């Protein structure tokens, strides 16, 4: 994962290469359709290049933010940006202009950081933490005993987890609602199974219709400090490199 400054330095290095260069921007829905060979692809007239795009997209799979692909000779550098590509675009050379526009967007982001026993909820605009709430709630560790004792323990543990989800959902609603019309996206961070359980139980996101990104933010411990620094994770891009095999 790379922050915007690192991505820009990477593209500057590609631009110094003397080999032939091309750039293509793909929206998420375009990426989803590309692997289907029956779908026409008018974006790139060069048949060989168009087929290589299809192969790369097939290997990457779905991307909720689309992709930007930069070619230099026999190598393709793919940047999956933190927020969605808005328009398909093909250009000669290394053209990072639309990618930089994504980095420069003044977006408001809701953040839910959640692990069993602790949560941190916040609203972030740029680097500024506009609102936040953190707390802990006891959840029993896993029990190794068997039989009826284990079943009672697991019922109790499941109840505590559901109570954690309900409390975190209520706090999310209270923290987000004053900013709900301004929030562009929601990001979550923590352990995938815990986050999925929370999202399945909390109906606030469905009712508010705010897009919830599937990318998990890297966070060790949900805390106020983690929220203050979370903009660094929000704006990271995934970078992949593919070599063309003759």
**What residue numbers bound the domain in which 61 lies?**
4-105
Percent of the chain with pLDDT over 70: 84
**Residues sharing a CB contact under 8 Å with residue 219, sequence separation 6 or more, in sequence order:** 113, 189, 190, 226, 230, 233
Percent of the chain predicted with pLDDT > 90: 57
Residues 95 and 162 in one domain: no
- SS3 of 133-154: the string is EEEECCCCCCCCCCHHHHHHHH
Other Cβ atoms within 10 Å of 139 Cβ, number:
17
Higher-scoring residue by pLDDT: 157, 129: 129
CATH of residue 61: 3.30.960.10
- pLDDT of 19: 74
Q: Does residue 243 belong to any structural domain of this protein?
A: no
Residue 168 DSSP SS3:
helix
CATH number (domain holding residue 158)? 3.30.420.60
CA distances (Å), 96 to each of 38, 48, 62, 88, 242, in order?
30, 23, 22, 13, 18
Which of the pair, 160 or 80, is modelled with greater confidence?
80
Claim to verify: residue 16 and residue 98 sit in the same structural domain: yes
Do 67 and 175 lie in one domain? The reply is no
- Both 95 and 50 in one domain: the answer is yes
Polymer length in residues for the chain: 246
What are the residue ranges of helices labelled H in 137-235?
Answer: 147-176, 192-201, 204-208, 224-229, 231-234
239, 96 Cβ separation under 8 angstroms: no
Number of domains in the chain: 2
Does residue 239 fall inside a structural domain?
no
Q: How far apart are CA 228 and CA 131, in angstroms?
A: 10
pTM score = 0.85
- Burial environment of residue 30 by CB neighbours within 10 A (0 to 12, 13 to 18, 19 or more): buried
The reply to whether 218 and 155 lie within a common domain is: yes
Report if residue 174 sits inside a domain: yes
Higher pLDDT among residues 21 and 102, named by residue: 102
């Amino acid at each position: 994962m790379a922050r915007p400054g690192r991505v820009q330095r990477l593209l500057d290095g590609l631009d110094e290469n003397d080999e032939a260069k091309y750039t293509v921007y793909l929206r998420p829905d375009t990426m989803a359709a590309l692997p289907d060979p029956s779908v026409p692809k008018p974006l790139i007239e060069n048949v060989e290049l168009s087929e290589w795009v299809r192969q790369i997209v097939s290997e990457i799979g779905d991307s909720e933010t689309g992709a930007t692909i930069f070619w230099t000779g026999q190598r393709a550098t793919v940047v999956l940006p933190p927020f969605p590509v808005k328009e398909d675009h093909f250009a000669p050379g290394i053209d990072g202009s639309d990618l930089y526009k994504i980095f420069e967007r003044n977006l408001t982001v809701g953040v839910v950081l959640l692990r069993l026993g602790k949560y941190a909820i916040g609203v972030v605009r740029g680097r500024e933490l506009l609102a936040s709430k953190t707390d802990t709630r006891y959840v029993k560790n896993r029990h190794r005993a068997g039989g009826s004792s284990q079943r009672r323990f697991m019922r109790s543990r499941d109840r505590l987890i559901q109570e954690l989800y309900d409390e975190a959902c209520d706090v999310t609603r209270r923290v987000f609602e004053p900013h709900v019309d301004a929030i562009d996206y929601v990001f979550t961070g923590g352990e995938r199974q815990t986050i999925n359980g929370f999202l399945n139980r909390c109906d606030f996101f469905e009712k508010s219709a705010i897009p919830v990104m599937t990318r998990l933010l890297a966070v060790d411990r949900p805390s106020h400090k983690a929220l203050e620094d979370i903009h660094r994770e929000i704006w990271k891009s995934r970078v992949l490199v593919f070599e063309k095999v003759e």
